[in-house]
């Protein structure tokens, strides 16, 4: 099985102001002038991490990674003003123009797959290929599956669900997203942080195939927990700022673009049905269902993603 490429440092780190309020943290790694790709992180609000650079052969790729509005080192931190899917799509295109890249491969996982599809459908002429992992199509059934009391995730991770549920008083559990939002957007700073960590530990600890029900997961650090929880709740309660079934409806715009869909058979955050629904509507794309959970770091997902980027490098190199 393929493994991640060796650790690498950016050859350029910059700040890019996309409007008068928001400034993005941008990293470029690999080889300047090589095949360009943009990496879209999950969440919203999760931010980029050093291992994200390693899905690409640094000798063959020029990879652009950035923290989306409100995430990571972008500023203002965890800010919700002018923070919608349309704003993020516009940011990706503005960044491409700023860097002088004509066309690039778009790589995104989880929420990053949603954003990748939205960007590609808005700007198909700018996309050389798509690598999509942990598909999320922003439908109500997907949001309810993991976040609400009538969803299915509670049957698979019952210990973790109970902690997420019990943070909210029983009278408010009919709409968990709104109940958490009330606390995440409230005036009580201690309560905001506690809600953010309860939200983020539920999600962050549910990503891997080998599951420890007591592990805090990747998003428990307070800074990351706050941006993840606030931005996710903001987007979730607005239907990800997309029209119903928009991403499936507009697939005709991108059917010609080479695409690989990678999804873990035992992904509990984004169930495999979502990837199957996408592939049924887009049979031209390659579908890889592998023995993994949601995490991009699960071995079988690493193998499939690295293979996908290698094949695109062979195709366009």
pLDDT grade for 315, boundaries at 50, 70 and 90: very high
Q: Which has more pLDDT, 197 or 214?
A: 197
Locate the domains of the chain by residue range.
12-140+240-316, 142-239
Say if residues 304 and 275 touch (Cβ distance below 8 Å).
Answer: no
pLDDT digit string, tens, across residues 2-29: 999 999 999 999 999 999 999 999 999 9
- The mean pLDDT of 144-153, rounded to a whole number, is 95
Distance CA 66, CA 47 (A): 8
- The mean pLDDT of 196-207, rounded to a whole number, is 93
Instruction: Count Cβ atoms within 10 A of the Cβ of residue 214 and give its class: 0-12 exposed, 13-18 middle, 19 or more buried.
Output: exposed
How crowded is residue 178: how many other Cβ atoms within 10 Å of its Cβ? Answer: 13
Q: Which token pair is 193?
A: 């942080």
Determine the pLDDT at residue 309: 98
Chain centroid, CA 200 distance in Å = 14
Closest CA to 241 of 113, 89, 57: 89
Would residue 140 show up in a list of annotated catalytic residues for this protein?
no
Is the domain covering 12-140+240-316 a CATH 3.40.109.10 domain? no
Q: Is the pTM of this model over 0.85?
A: yes
Say if residues 83 and 59 touch (Cβ distance below 8 Å).
Answer: no
The pLDDT of residue 258 is above 70: yes
Would residue 110 show up in a list of annotated catalytic residues for this protein?
yes
Distances in whole angstroms, Cα of residue 132 to Cα of each of 4, 10, 252:
17, 23, 17
Would residue 214 show up in a list of annotated catalytic residues for this protein?
no
Share of the chain above pLDDT 70, in %: 98
- The mean pLDDT of 97-124, rounded to a whole number, is 98
Which member of 227, 294, 298, 303 is catalytic? 294
pLDDT digit string, tens, across residues 22-78: 999 999 999 999 999 999 999 999 999 999 999 999 999 999 999 999 999 999 999
Which member of 110, 113, 200, 227 is catalytic? 110
The pLDDT of residue 212 is above 90: no
Share of the chain above pLDDT 90, in %: 93
pLDDT grade for 223, boundaries at 50, 70 and 90: confident
Determine the pLDDT at residue 217: 66
DSSP 8-state secondary structure symbol assigned to residue 75:
B
Collapsed DSSP state (helix, strand, coil) of residue 193:
helix
């Amino acid at each position: 099985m393929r493994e991640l490429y060796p650790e690498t440092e950016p050859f350029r780190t910059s700040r890019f102001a996309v409007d008068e309020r928001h400034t993005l943290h941008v990293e470029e790694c690999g080889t300047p002038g090589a095949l360009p790709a943009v990496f879209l992180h999950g969440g919203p609000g999760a931010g980029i991490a050093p291992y994200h650079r390693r899905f690409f052969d640094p000798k063959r790729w020029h990879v652009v990674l950035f923290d989306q509005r409100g995430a990571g080192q972008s500023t203002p931190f965890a800010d919700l003003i002018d923070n919608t899917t349309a704003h993020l799509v516009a940011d990706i295109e503005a960044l491409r123009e700023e860097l002088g890249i004509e066309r690039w491969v778009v790589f995104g996982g989880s929420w990053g797959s949603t954003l990748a599809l939205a960007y590609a459908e808005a700007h198909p002429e700018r996309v050389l290929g798509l690598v999509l992992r942990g598909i999320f199509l922003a439908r109500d059934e997907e949001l309810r599956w993991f976040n609400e009391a009538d969803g299915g995730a509670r049957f698979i991770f019952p210990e973790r669900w109970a902690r997420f549920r019990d943070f909210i008083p029983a009278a408010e559990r009919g709409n968990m997203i709104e109940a958490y939002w009330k606390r995440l957007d409230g005036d009580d700073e201690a309560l905001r942080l506690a809600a953010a960590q309860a939200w983020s530990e539920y999600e962050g600890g549910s990503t891997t195939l080998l599951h420890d029900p007591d592990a805090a997961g990747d998003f428990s650090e307070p800074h990351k927990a706050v941006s993840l929880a606030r931005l996710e709740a903001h987007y979730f309660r607005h239907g990800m700022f997309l029209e119903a079934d928009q991403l499936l409806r507009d697939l005709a715009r991108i059917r010609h673009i080479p695409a690989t869909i990678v999804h873990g058979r035992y992904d509990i955050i984004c169930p495999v049905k979502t990837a199957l629904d996408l592939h049924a509507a887009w049979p031209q794309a390659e579908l890889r269902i592998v023995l993994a959970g949601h995490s991009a770091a699960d071995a079988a997902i690493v193998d499939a993603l690295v293979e996908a980027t290698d094949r695109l490098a062979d195709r366009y190199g």
